[in-house]
Amino acid sequence: MHPAKSVILFTTASGAGYGLIAWLGVLAILGLVPADRGLGLIAFGLGFGLVILGLVSSTFHLGHPERAWRALSQWRSSWLSREGVAAVFTFLPAGLFALGWVILGRNDGAFAVLGLIASLSCVATVACTAMIYASLKTIRAWHSPWTLPAYLVMAALSGGLLLLVLLGLWGQPLAGPFAATVLALFAATLAVKLLYWRSLADTDGASTAESATGLGGFGKVSLLEAPHSESNYLMQEMGFQVARRHAERLRRFVLFGGLAAPFVLVLVGLAVPGAVAVVAAILAALLLGIGLAVERWLFFAEAKHVVTLYYGESRA
C-alpha cells in the first residue's frame, strides 16, 4: 500500500498524544502525581496538540476533506466513523480533566474520575484506529491479530516516554519508578513487532494467483498480459513496491535505533537521576519518534492488497 505521509503523521502523532493523556488520567486516579499547574499545562498542551495535529493531518489524505464530518454518521458499520466519534467524545472528559488540573489545581475526586474516563476514551480511540486496518480482510498484513496490540502498546510507549520527560523536567519523584514502566513498554513493543513480522513472513493462508482465479488445480498460474498498459490508481495506491533488502534495513533500524537505543538511554537515566536522566529521556523520545515513523511507513509499504494478484503479484 502507498505509505501516505499524512496518514503516517496521523497515526504516530495522535497515538503519542492519546497515550500521554491516558497516562495522566491513570496516574491521577491512582493518586501518584500532584496537580502541578505548570506540569499540567505543558502535558495537556502537548497531548492535545499532538492529537489535533494527527487528526488534521488525516484529512489531507481525503479526496474531499471538507466532507470528513459526514463519516461520523456511519458509526454502526464503519471503524473509521467510530474512530471519529470516539475522538470527538474524548475531548469532553479530557478537556474537563485538563481544566480541573490547570485552572483549579485539582486532579483528585471527580476530576480523577474524569481523568479515568478520558484515559478509557483515549484507549478506545486508538483501538478504533487500529481496527480500521485490522478489519480489512483483503490486506493480510493488516488483518493480523497483532495489529491492534501494536497500535495500543506503541501509543502507550510514546505517550509514556513523553510523560517521563516532563516528570524529569519538573523533578517529580515518580520519574524513577515510571521509567521502569517505560522500559517494560519498550520490551512489550519489541515483542509485539517481532511477532507481527513473524506472522507476516508466514505464507500460510496467503492469497495467491491460483486461489484468486480458482485455477490452482491446473498448476501454476502466470500473467499472460497486463490488465493495463499504463499505471492507474490501483497500482499507485495498492501496488506499492519496497525492495526486501531495503525493508530489512528499515526493520533493523526500528529494532535497534528506534527501540533498543532509546531503551538503553532510559536505562541510563534510571541509573543516573537528575539532569542526565532528563537529557537521556529527551534523546530517547526523539529516537523513538523517528523509529515509530519508520515502523509506520513499513506497516503501509509492506502491505499488499489482493487486487495486486491480477497485476502480476504471485502472493498477497
Report the pLDDT value the prediction gives residue 218, as an integer from 0 to 100.
80
Backbone angles phi, psi at 139, to 5 degrees: -125, 100
Q: Please give the DSSP secondary-structure letter assigned to residue 214.
A: T
Confidence of residue 195 (pLDDT cuts 50, 70, 90): very high
pLDDT in tens, 54-65: 998 888 776 666
Q: For residue 305, what are the β-bridge partners?
A: 139
| pLDDT exceeds 70 at position 99 | yes
Predicted local distance difference test score (pLDDT) of residue 67:
67
Q: What are the residue ranges spanned by the domains of the chain?
A: 5-311
Q: In Å, what is the CA distance from 222 to each residue of 219, 230, 312?
A: 10, 20, 8
pLDDT digits (tens, 9 = 90+) for 273-313: 999 999 999 999 999 999 999 999 999 999 888 888 777 77
Handedness of CA 230, 236, 238, 239 (dihedral sign): positive
Report phi then psi at 135, rounded to 5: -85, -10
Which pTM was predicted? Answer: 0.93
Asked if 123 and 116 count as a contact pair (C-beta separation under 8 A), the reply is: no
* Contact of 128 with 152, CB cutoff 8 Å: no
Residue 33: DSSP 8-state: S
The answer to whether the Cα torsion of 215, 220, 224, 229 is positive or negative is positive
**Domain 5-311 class, CATH top level:** mainly alpha
Length of the chain: 316
- Mind listing the pLDDT tens digit for each residue in 161-190? 999 999 999 999 999 999 999 999 999 999
- Which of the four pLDDT bands, split at 50, 70 and 90, describes residue 66? low
| Neighbour-count burial of 202, counting CB atoms closer than 10 A to its CB (0-12 exposed, 13-18 middle, 19+ buried) | exposed
Res. 44: pLDDT tops 90: yes
Query: pLDDT digit string (tens) for 234-277?
Result: 676 776 777 778 899 999 999 999 999 999 999 999 999 999 99
